[in-house]
Amino acid sequence: MNYFSSDFKLGILGGGQLGKMLLYNTRKFDIQTYVLDPSNEAPSRMACNVFEQGDLMDFDTVYKFGKQVDVLTIEIENVNVAALEKLENEGTKVYPSSKTLRRIQNKATQKLFYQDHNLPTAPFSRFAYASEIEDAIDNGGVTLPFVWKAAQFGYDGNGVKIVRSLADLKDLPKGECIAEQLIPFKNELAVIVSRSATGETKTYPVVEMEFHPEANQVEYVICPARISEDVAKKAQEVALKASQAFDHVGVLAVELFQTEDDKILINEVAPRPHNSGHQTIEASYTSQFEQHIRAILGLPLGKTDNKVASVMVNLVGAEGYTGQVHYKNIESIMAMDGVTPHIYGKKETRPFRKMGHVTIVDQDLSTARQIAEEVKKSIKVISL
């Protein structure tokens, strides 16, 4: 199949920033692209050949969109899986597959999958309704403190809460959820695994994530992670095993806990390019976005080594600001060595909304981390 400068059409469900960054590479390779997104102002709109506005959860919309393309991929998990299943049955290649997506979309199903495939993860209980948790605490089935997670539609720290007392149960959404044992951990790590339609696999170096204490959003992604070689090897092996168990095609982001005694546990996975791999654009031989394109088209996978050490800083809307976005002091951070901002193209800011990211590269990781601190202090995402 000739993908380049040809009639081949690649469809992407979702037109957010991940889609936009995937499109950098389809433009580089001259691959025709179709994008479906509910928003008329989706960041991907500017970079694709054909843009359609429509509901990603609507069966007919997704099915009709998929019928126009040769290969269909996603940049967001919340899509109509039944439509994908029908498209697959009718010969459209869909990566990740409807089967993989169905398992990952629901956090309870995802956790059960780890158990069934001997993939290490924190102990948990599954509940059809949040109201059942109190009974489970009373009869000793669940012990405080624990992590409550909504089974579906959680993102960027939404749908996750640490429950330390019965009072914390009060305002939780009512639907299906899991209560996960709170694991004391040294580090939150992540590994991006790429697995091609041909079965070829490669892992990226392990990254370490530092989180914002209130928003439960990643503040810094540090690569390579400041961990021993043994722990890094273990993390990559667990991530690879997860990718193979899911029979995943594309890139899979595997978020991990490194426990106090250096065990590696899977927190959760995302079957698409991910925030923990953004630094690969500047710091790796092959970015996660190019790798995803290579993987779903069955092309040889690119080299995943780091060229340089890196730290990625998320640009999120400052608290107290809502409205038309303004990036205050962006010129001052661009004057710093090794600093590259990525602006996603969302016109409206609101507190903690992901508006962009900045990658800082340096031969020395501690220097990159220091500059990242300066970047974080300098730039502010505010409204006019």
| Residue 48 and residue 131 in one domain | no
On whether 149 is known to bind a ligand per the annotation, the reply is: yes
Structure tokens, 330: 């962006």
Cβ atoms < 10 Å from Cβ of 72: 27
Sheet-wide strand order for 323-328: 348-349, 323-328, 380-383
| Residue 301 and residue 202 in one domain | yes
On whether 268 is known to bind a ligand per the annotation, the reply is: yes
Range of the domain at 219: 185-383
Domain end position, chosen among 181, 203, 219: 181
Query: Can you give the pLDDT at residue 25?
Result: 97
On whether 180 is known to bind a ligand per the annotation, the reply is: yes
Query: Can you give the pLDDT at residue 241?
Result: 98
Domain count, the chain: 3
* C-alpha to C-alpha distance for 312 and 3, rounded to whole angstroms: 32
* C-alpha to C-alpha distance for 290 and 194, rounded to whole angstroms: 11
Entry pTM: 0.95
In-domain check, residue 243: yes
Beta bridge partners of 255: 190, 268
Average pLDDT, 10 consecutive residues per value, the chain (384 residues): 96 98 98 98 96 98 98 96 98 97 94 97 93 90 92 77 90 91 94 96 96 76 98 98 97 97 96 97 98 98 98 96 97 97 96 96 98 96 95
Cβ atoms < 10 Å from Cβ of 327: 17
On whether 241 is known to bind a ligand per the annotation, the reply is: no
On whether 329 is known to bind a ligand per the annotation, the reply is: no
Structure tokens, 267: 């927190």
| Residue 198 and residue 337 in one domain | yes
Query: Can you give the pLDDT at residue 156?
Result: 61
Containing 12, the helix (H) or strand (E) segment is: strand 9-13
On whether 64 is known to bind a ligand per the annotation, the reply is: no
Distances, alpha carbon 29 to alpha carbons 25, 50, 205, in Å: 6, 17, 25
| Residue 160 and residue 289 in one domain | no
| Residue 341 and residue 305 in one domain | yes
| Residue 240 and residue 374 in one domain | yes
Query: Can you give the pLDDT at residue 215?
Result: 65
On whether 17 is known to bind a ligand per the annotation, the reply is: no
In-domain check, residue 117: no
Query: Can you give the pLDDT at residue 170?
Result: 85
Structure tokens, 231: 């722990």
Beta bridge partners of 339: 360
On whether 182 is known to bind a ligand per the annotation, the reply is: yes
